[in-house]
Structure 1
Amino acid sequence: MTDTTSRNTFSLLGLGDMGTALTRTWLTAGHSPTVWNRTPAKAEALAAGGAVAAPSAAEAVAAHPLVVVCLLDDASVGSVLEGVDLTGKDLVNLTTSTPADARARAAWAEERGARYVDGGIMATPTMIGVPEAGGYVFYSGSRAALDTHRAVLEVPAGVRFVGEDPGHAALHDVALLSAMYGLFAGISHAYALTEGEDIAPKDLAPLLSEWLGAMGFFVGNTAERLTSRDFTTGVVSSLAMQVAASGTLLRTAAEQGVDAGLISPYLDLMRRRLESDPAAHGGEDTAGAVLLLKR
């Protein structure tokens, strides 16, 4: 489906760091969106660069068929759009939310006559409008609405559609961020272990990068095992061996005066998997531990 949105027929509500970065990128590309923010000065500053400042959220929504929302949270979306006529609008919500929030907001929008698309931005504001930075946005919900406005939406960052379930963009977003924070936790623990030793952080850094890169196979390997439910074929480092070795990690943390709180939950998870049935799970790799996380 071809894009039918011209360069001055969409509105953006919310001009925090991300909303401002989005608007500046659209302006640079020759678009002139209508913008609104609770603090009018932010909209007025962008108007100097070619945007159109709307005096109210309702007037911004009324101005164009495409309405992009980038606010603080889901409650802010409901508050800002309360009583605003959404009939015939395509609402693209780039506000960070949970899958349940996104699904509820989609139903709320559709009841008001709008097509709904949820978005999860996988980029910082400094990555917006910089293709080589690799930023993109997960989108889910109305495929027809997304296709209608794809040419506009792909200007600030890449477009990745992950399904018509409105909650899937948020779910993908949080899944990737959760993995990121787990990685950050391990890196932080590694630096804490060497803090105060004659090991410079800048010397440890390339070793960490190299090692973590080598462990990247775990992502695809875990996906394959969770799909097949075969946790034993081709195992190189068994669960039993890793649980036995985990004691060394914890003793080292204690010796170095480091709180093991960042790594002990995963070590405990491996131990629980093993102890639930040593004969069945001892020869597995660690992917099966994922099953213990589902409540």
Structure 2
Amino acid sequence: MTQNIVDPASKTPVTLLGLGAMGTALARAWLAAGHPLTVWNRTPARAEPLAARGTGVAATAAEAVAANRLLVVCLLDDASVDEALDGIDLAGKDLVNLTTSTPGRARARAEWARDRGARYLDGGIMAVPPMIGTPAAGPYVFYSGSRELFEEHRDTLAVPAGTTYVGADAGFAALHDVALLSAMYGMFAGVAHAFALVRKESVAPADLAPLLTSWIGAMAGSAARTAEQLESGDYTQGVVSNLAMQVAGTSTLLRTAEEQGVSAELLTPYLALMERRLAEGGGAEDLTGVIDLLRR
């Protein structure tokens, strides 16, 4: 039997700072793919399982940074990144920052890295740790910043999760990340309200769940129409149920919540925006006009 042996010499060496749940998942994926790996974590004990599998463990962040050109950072927050990299020579390094941040802070970090002689790529991880290293689970990472860095290390970065480059503006990865997460929490709010409505009835949550999944999936298709309307500026394009009709039906939602003894606080902010847009003359529009009310 022929055994496939991964040659570490053919794989890009990686330095990883941060071994929280996500960092550890990233480390395991690169290690499994045969990449020489050097890690550092503020709490050294977290590196012990990786060390047992052949990972190099640096005593300090500076030692870890010096080990390899490609430096991936996955820490708690921006302050942690500042602290870990304070005073460390980054000249000639390729810095990939997967620490969750904001677009503005990502842009500032890119400038900070350039001032220190490093190429910079910001990342927004669209996955939870168990998805990392499992392509079938669909994990991916938004990347923005140095296109050259991304292209050079694309294969290495694609080992833990798929890669989606969204532009040279270093803030775009965080922007896309937060946009999708914001939509997710809006969905969670609707799901929570739906379950609350049936909670005291003889409706099994397990019976409602597939109905919610199917309905939300069907409604998610409206995002494409919203995008077309925003790009054209015509919010009446392709309207199925106009704003006036939808506002007329919101009283039923609120009355049902009251009858069921459920707070409508997850719904009322959005319903109020719908009513405001209607009052401004948007009755023939889709719900797209609400977006303009959110812009300050």
Which TM-score band applies after superposition, normalised by the shorter structure? over 0.9
- Percent of residue pairs bearing the same amino acid type: 65
Partner of 1:15: 19
Partner of 1:59: 63
Contact 2:277 2:290 in 1 (8 A): yes
Partner of 1:292: 293
Of 162, 182, 187, the residue aligned with 2:166 is 162
| Structure 1: distance between partners of 2:52 and 2:251 | 62
What's the CA shift for 1:186? 0.3
What's the CA shift for 1:249? 0.5
Amino acid aligned to 2:287: T
Amino acid aligned to 1:204: L
Of 242, 246, 265, the residue aligned with 1:242 is 246
Query: Per-residue CA shift, 1:220-249, capped at 9, x if unaligned?
Result: 010010111111133221101111111110
Q: What SS class does the counterpart of residue 141 from structure 2 fall into?
A: strand
Partner of 1:85: 89
Q: What SS class does the counterpart of residue 159 from structure 1 fall into?
A: strand
| 6-15 or 123-132, larger mean C-alpha shift | 6-15
| Structure 2: distance between partners of 1:239 and 1:166 | 37
| Structure 2: distance between partners of 1:290 and 1:138 | 24
Q: Does 2:145 correspond to 1:141?
A: yes
Partner of 2:235: 231
Task: Kindly report the root-mean-square deviation, in angstroms, between the aligned alpha carbons of the 2 structures.
Answer: 1.1
Q: What SS class does the counterpart of residue 286 from structure 1 fall into?
A: coil
Runs of 4+ in 1 over 3 A off after TM superposition: none
What is the TM-score with the length of structure 2 in the denominator? 0.95
| 248-257 or 164-173, larger mean C-alpha shift | 248-257
Amino acid aligned to 1:139: Y
Partner of 2:190: 186
Q: What SS class does the counterpart of residue 261 from structure 1 fall into?
A: coil
Contiguous gaps of at least 5 residues in structure 1 = none
| Structure 1: distance between partners of 2:47 and 2:10 | 21
| Structure 2: distance between partners of 1:121 and 1:293 | 26
| Structure 1: distance between partners of 2:123 and 2:13 | 20
Q: What SS class does the counterpart of residue 27 from structure 2 fall into?
A: helix
Partner of 1:73: 77
| 214-223 or 111-120, larger mean C-alpha shift | 214-223
Amino acid aligned to 2:54: G
Aligned residues: 288
What's the CA shift for 1:179? 0.4
Q: What SS class does the counterpart of residue 233 from structure 1 fall into?
A: coil
Q: Does 2:207 correspond to 1:203?
A: yes
Q: What SS class does the counterpart of residue 186 from structure 1 fall into?
A: helix
Q: What SS class does the counterpart of residue 262 from structure 1 fall into?
A: coil
Contact 1:7 1:33 in 2 (8 A): no
Amino acid aligned to 2:257: A
| Structure 2: distance between partners of 1:68 and 1:160 | 17
Contact 1:99 1:170 in 2 (8 A): yes
What's the CA shift for 1:28? 0.9
What is the TM-score with the length of structure 1 in the denominator? 0.95
The answer to which structure, 1 or 2, has the higher relative contact order (CA under 8 A, 6+ apart) is 1
Partner of 2:48: 44
Amino acid aligned to 2:79: A
Contact 1:11 1:67 in 2 (8 A): yes
What's the CA shift for 1:32? 2.3
Q: Does 2:106 correspond to 1:102?
A: yes
